């Protein structure tokens, strides 16, 4: 297995690796058809074994605080994508990708790394294990039950009838969120301070 910079010819392998990695997570339906490209400086690495992409990481770097990341006082690198092919999990590939990307971010002058993830316990455990700190959270909710949509969503366009709504909830009533909606996720921010 080697870790090297992403190249345009990796795109199909990158997309396949990413979709497979997320299938058994809370992001199971977050599918991309094209790899993202970044307006600002970035670190884009892939882990390759026998010619196939088995892991990937993308960071986008602040050129000034708060441009991409949340901290108003520090320049950060946002982890937009991090995934290891399910057949290659728990072999240290995620850790190696992270450490190599971290070093590049540090050399580029970044002071911290920021990541957002949903409520998969094992993924959070991985961030804890890598030394990240949980600093913030909010909820993401999906509404598709007709009775919820009727009671909670008002549409101002005549003849337009929402059948599914995705929304962010930044209140603190966790019990309400998890009892009310058919699908809800606590989404958490993890930071790692670079020395």
Ligand X SMILES: CC(C)(COP(=O)(O)OP(=O)(O)OC[C@H]1O[C@@H](n2cnc3c(N)ncnc32)[C@H](O)[C@@H]1OP(=O)(O)O)[C@@H](O)C(=O)NCCC(=O)NCCS
For the CA atoms of 107, 108, 113, 114, what is the dihedral angle to 10 degrees? -170
Question: Min. distance of Cβ 91 from ligand X in angstroms?
Answer: 5
Stretch of residues binding ligand X (CB under 6 A), selected from 29-37, 62-70, 84-92, 162-170: 84-92
Question: Min. distance of Cβ 113 from ligand X in angstroms?
Answer: 12
Specify the 3-state DSSP secondary structure of 136: strand
Q: Is 94 in the site for ligand X (CB under 6 A)?
A: yes
Q: Is 45 in the site for ligand X (CB under 6 A)?
A: no
Is 15 or 152 the residue whose CB approaches ligand X more closely? 15
Residues in the chain: 195
In degrees and rounded to multiples of 5, residue 34 shows phi and psi of: -140, 150
Question: Min. distance of Cβ 86 from ligand X in angstroms?
Answer: 8
Total number of residues that touch ligand X (CB under 6 A): 19
> Of 25, 70, 71, 137, which lies in the binding site for ligand X, with binding defined by CB under 6 A?
25
Stretch of residues binding ligand X (CB under 6 A), selected from 1-9, 106-114, 118-126, 151-159: 118-126
Query: Rounded CA gap, 15 and 124, in Å?
Result: 23
| First-last CA distance in the chain | 28
**Contact predicate 61/107, CB 8 Å:** no
Q: Is 139 in the site for ligand X (CB under 6 A)?
A: no
Please report the DSSP string for 69-121 in residue order: SS-TTS-EEEEEEEEE-GGGTTSSHHHHHHHHHHHHHHHTT--EEEEEE-S-H
Question: Min. distance of Cβ 84 from ligand X in angstroms?
Answer: 4
Question: Min. distance of Cβ 103 from ligand X in angstroms?
Answer: 16
Residues in contact with ligand X, shown as a per-residue x/- string from 3 to 22 under the rule CB under 6 A: ------------------xx
> What does DSSP say about strands 165-169 and 133-143: parallel, antiparallel, or unpaired?
antiparallel
Query: What are the residues binding ligand X (CB under 6 A)?
Result: 21-22, 25, 82-84, 89-95, 117, 122-123, 125-126, 129
């Amino acid at each position: 297995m080697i870790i090297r910079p992403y190249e345009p010819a990796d795109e199909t392998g990158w997309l396949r690796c990413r979709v497979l990695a997320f299938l058994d997570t809370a992001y199971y339906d977050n599918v991309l058809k094209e790899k993202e490209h970044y307006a600002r400086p970035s670190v884009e690495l892939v882990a390759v074994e026998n010619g196939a992409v088995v892991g990937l990481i993308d960071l986008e770097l602040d050129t000034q605080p708060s441009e991409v990341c949340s901290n108003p006082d520090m320049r950060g690198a946002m982890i937009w994508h991090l995934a290891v092919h399910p057949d290659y999990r728990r072999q240290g590939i995620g850790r190696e990708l992270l450490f190599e990307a971290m070093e590049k971010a540090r050399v580029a002058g970044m002071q911290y790394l920021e990541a957002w993830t949903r409520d998969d316990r094992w993924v959070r455990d991985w961030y804890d294990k890598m030394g990240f700190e949980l600093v913030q959270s909010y909820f993401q909710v999906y509404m598709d039950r007709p009775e919820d949509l009727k009671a909670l969503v008002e549409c101002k366009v005549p003849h337009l009838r929402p059948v599914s709504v995705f929304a962010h909830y930044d209140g603190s009533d966790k019990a309400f969120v998890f009892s009310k909606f058919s699908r809800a996720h606590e989404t958490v921010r993890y930071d790692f301070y670079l020395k």
